[in-house]
Amino acid sequence: MPDDTRDKLLDAAQDLVQRVGANAMSYQHLAQVVGIRKASIHYHFPTKADLLEAMVGRYHKRFMEHVSEVRSGGGTGGERLAAYLDLFASTLRESDGSKLCACGMLGAEVATLGTEMAAVLNRFYEANHRVIETLLREGAADGSVSVPGDVAVTARVVFGALEGGMLVARTADDPAGRFGQVAQELLTLLTLAPLHV
Amino acid sequence: MPDDTRDKLLDAAQDLVQRVGANAMSYQHLAQVVGIRKASIHYHFPTKADLLEAMVGRYHKRFMEHVSEVRSGGGTGGERLAAYLDLFASTLRESDGSKLCACGMLGAEVATLGTEMAAVLNRFYEANHRVIETLLREGAADGSVSVPGDVAVTARVVFGALEGGMLVARTADDPAGRFGQVAQELLTLLTLAPLHV
DNA sequence: GTCTATAGCGCGATAGAC
DNA sequence: GTCTATCGCGCTATAGAC
């Protein structure tokens, strides 16, 4: 049953974190969205830290499921890299330019969230670094990607550009369009010729 | 007189914003740092929005003064670009890996800060895009930089990679070291051969 | 599993003395 | 320009009824 109260709370928490951040998200806001009283939330998640950690755990798992689909997709490494970049673009596109990656948002607030959350976020970042590194290596092997330097560090450049690109794009007139250009240019930098996906 | 109460308040506000964000920064925290009572802050900045806008205005002005020094520095365009990247690296370096760019942090929180702050942040981002674009063009002209695509969009890739790179690096063991590698790899991607600055 | 009620605190902001 | 005192609100969290 995917839509019991617990899942609805996680849905609402994720949506609010992506839009306004964890510090600006309250049990009162969640209660209004889900349609229960705020005290009832403590039955499902005793503390706010519990709620945030459960939300990030689910987010990480779901994100990696999308990544698996991308990785099992056809085409060249460069084309699969483009599909991976589009996972980030779709977040902006489907929220009218108002949602960040949940883990990017929480990364900004990490100093207020405790060491356990910092470790969880770092795990998400490192998992993505490994995914990008693999895509770059596969692209280099099939000739669709060209990396002039250290592949592992380049993967971190790409991930940072995605997280930061979303953040910066959000204040522009057309965030999704802006970010789409940035993602395309990132591909141009990493491929011998521009890809069209 | 650079250190009257107003400036001390702006110093403390900037430090807290860079570390924990605007939503986690309170008048009480500022009062403790500066050594006055929290009610006294309202004499200098009637509302928190006033304080944040003054802080960002000063931050923007000071940052562009550093940029001017970089731009009037010698060397190739690529070397001046490296010096510009180091403005961001130095923030992490000099804070033991705990401070972000103030405008990057506020960008994450923009949904809670009102439309005026969104406009102010966008102005900072666009100003930096123009600086990077100019440095890339100068580097292309003297042969030290190679941009395989649109220079203006590439400038946005670079800026996003800096803001996001700082954010992601903060959860790592050695944030400044990690970010330094990312900045160096960014240069490698944009130059025909790695620069050593 | 959800409710009402409330504790206890921190917040931004204001009034008015000095 | 800074102080004390206070207002009113929102917050996380808990107790105990149903």
CB B56 within 8 A of CB B120: yes
Which residues, in sequence order, are CB contacts of A84 under 8 Å at separation 6+? Answer: A67, A70, A131, A132, A135
pLDDT at B74: 86
What is the 8-class DSSP label of residue B46?
Answer: S
Q: How confident is the model at residue B2 (pLDDT cuts 50, 70, 90)?
A: low
Predicted pLDDT at B78: 97
8 Å CB contact of B172 and A20? no
DSSP 8-class letter at A26: -
Instruction: Please state, in angstroms and rounded to a whole number, the distance separating the CA atoms of residues B66 and B75.
Output: 17
Tally the residues of chain A. Answer: 197
Which CATH homologous superfamily contains domain A48-190?
Answer: Tetracycline Repressor, domain 2 (1.10.357.10)
Under the banding of pLDDT at 50, 70 and 90, the label for residue B196 is: very low
* Cβ-based contacts of B119 with chain A (< 8 Å): 171
Q: Give the Cα separation of B103 and B86 in Å (integer).
A: 17
Rounded distance between C-alpha atoms, residue B38 and residue B26, angstroms: 9
Q: Does B116 touch chain A (CB under 8 A)?
A: no
CB A49 within 8 A of CB A135: no
Measuring CA to CA, which residue among B98, B90, B105, B79 is closest to residue B24? B105
Residue nearest to nucleotide C15 (CA to C1'): B39
Task: Using a 7 Å cut-off to protein CB atoms, list the covered nucleotides of chain D.
Answer: 1-6, 10-16
B36 touches chain A (CB under 8 A): no
Residue to test with chain B: of A170, A171, A192, most B Cβ within 10 A: A171
What's the sign of the alpha-carbon dihedral A133, A107, A33, B49?
negative
**Residue B1: both structure tokens together:** 């007189």
How confident is the prediction for chain A on average, in pLDDT?
95
> For residue A176, is pLDDT > 50?
yes
Average pLDDT over residues B68-74: 95
Would you say A22 and A105 are in contact if contact means Cβ atoms under 8 Å apart? yes
Q: Which residue has the tokens 């690529």?
A: B78
Q: Contact B20/A109, CB-based, under 8 Å?
A: yes
Cβ of residue A36 lies below 7 Å from strand C: yes
pLDDT tens per residue, range A113-126: 999 999 999 999 99
Structure tokens at B105: 């942090």
Q: What is the pLDDT of residues A133-168, one digit of tens each?
A: 999 999 999 999 999 999 999 999 999 999 999 999
By the CB < 8 Å criterion, does A21 face chain B?
A: yes
Mutation for A interface: B110, B117, B173, B185, most A CBs within 10 A = B185
User: In chain A, what residues touch B167 (CB-CB under 8 Å)?
Assistant: 104, 107-108, 160, 163-164, 167
Burial B126-158 (b: 16+ CB within 10 A, else e): eebbebbbbbbebbbeeebbebbeebbbbbbbb
Q: What percent of chain A has pLDDT above 70? A: 95
The verdict on a CB contact (< 8 Å) between A167 and B163 is yes
Please determine, for residue B179, whether its predicted confidence score (pLDDT) is greater than 60. yes
Q: Can you tell me the distance from the alpha carbon of B148 to that of B192, in angstroms, rounded to the nearest whole number?
A: 11
Q: Report residue A74's pLDDT band, with 50, 70 and 90 as the boundaries.
A: confident
Closest CA-bearing residue to C1' of C11:
B26
B141 confidence band (pLDDT: 50, 70, 90): very high
Q: Is the pLDDT of residue A196 over 70?
A: no
Residue A149 has φ and ψ, to the nearest 5°, of 160, -155
pLDDT digits (tens, 9 = 90+) for A3-61: 699 999 999 999 999 999 999 999 999 999 999 999 999 999 999 999 999 999 999 99
d(CA B14, CA A129): 31
Best mutation target among B171, B173, B181, B188 (most A Cβ atoms within 10 Å) is B171
Between A34 and B192, where is the model more confident? A34
CA-based radius of gyration for chain B: 18
Using pLDDT thresholds of 50, 70 and 90, give the confidence band for residue B137.
very high
Count residue pairs from A and B with Cβ separation < 8 A.
174
CA separation for the pair B21, B63 (Å, rounded):
19
Domain boundaries, chain B: 48-190
pLDDT of residue B60 exceeding 60, the answer is yes
